[in-house]
Amino acid sequence: MIAGPGTALLMDARVRHSPEAERIDTRGEPPVWRAKLPDGSAVWVASGYDAARRAMTDTGFAKPAVRGGERWTRYLGFTAPQVTDSIVRSMGNTDGDLHRSLRDLGASALTPERVRAAVDRADGTAEELLDTIAERGRADLVGEFAHPFGVRAITGLLGYPDDFVRRTLELRRWGPAPLFDPPGPPTASGTRPSGRP
Considering only 5-9, 25-29, 156-160, 167-171, which range has the smallest mean pLDDT? 5-9
Q: Which helix (H) or strand (E) holds 169?
A: helix 162-169
Which residues lie below 8 Å from residue 46, measured CB to CB, with a gap of 6+?
31, 32, 52, 54, 55
- Over residues 107-119, the mean pLDDT reads 88
pLDDT (tens digit, 9 = 90+) per residue, 29-81?
A: 788 887 776 667 777 778 778 888 888 788 777 665 555 556 666 655 555 66
- Over residues 88-92, the mean pLDDT reads 70
| Mean per-residue pLDDT over the chain, rounded | 71
Cβ(105)–Cβ(90) under 8 Å?
no
- How many Å apart are CA 132 and CA 113, to the nearest integer? 29
Q: Quick one: what percent of the chain has pLDDT higher than 90?
A: 16
